[in-house]
Structure 1
Amino acid sequence: MARIEHVALFAADPHALKDFYVEALGLRVILDNSKASPPGYFLADDAGVAVELIGRPTEVPAVDTRHVCHIAFIVDDVAAARADLEARGLTFEDDTAVDNETMTTAFFRDPEGNRLQIVKRPRPLVS
């Protein structure tokens, strides 16, 4: 069974957008990547639902959804989940797969073309 882990959004000004979500909606910063390139933040509500804000690089058009604008689902086994989804006819982006000490992840598109991600982390992003 998969559960939604986070939703990611591009932000022209991730610092200001982070402030809006914190001040207007009561989310809290759970991961500060403000010094990364591009900068960003993970925010969460009290139920553990997370929003990832990613600074949009100036060379990336606002409509590019290659690395953002996705829904991420927590799975117990990325390889098994991927095999099941591929058996359903879905195709994965091999060049965006990550398998390191912080996470294992893979991206694909749903039947309508929406970008989705399966992810497993050794430590939950939101606790």
Structure 2
Amino acid sequence: MLKRIHHVAIICSDYKLSKNFYVNILGLTVVKEVYRVERRSHKLDLSVGGLYQIELFSFENPPERPSRPESRGLRHLAFEVDDVAAAAAELNAKGVVTEEIRVDEYTGKMFTFFTDPDGLPLEIYES
């Protein structure tokens, strides 16, 4: 029945800051951007690796996330990269702080975490 994940929706507190982060720092491609007057809300559709996958929303006064990352619900969003160390170095050069690179004890693949402007936990994981 289910074929794949269609998209992930992210609600941000500062639309301009988050748009800059996802587009200019992470390098995602803008597919479509709209402002919904009746909701006073931006909606930015972003492409990851050529596939439409992320919707970035802004809403007035969204509630904060309960905790990081062990709160109930979605734990984090992971992006696949060819080289975790190189990707982390590129993020660090752009002012994004990444955690120490770790190795998944089950797969042997490298990974690390960082956060978006709202503290949403993001991961880069070796392909």
TM-score range for the pair, normalised by the shorter chain length = 0.3 to 0.5
Q: What TM-score does the superposition give when structure 1 sets the normalisation length?
A: 0.43
Q: What TM-score does the superposition give when structure 2 sets the normalisation length?
A: 0.43
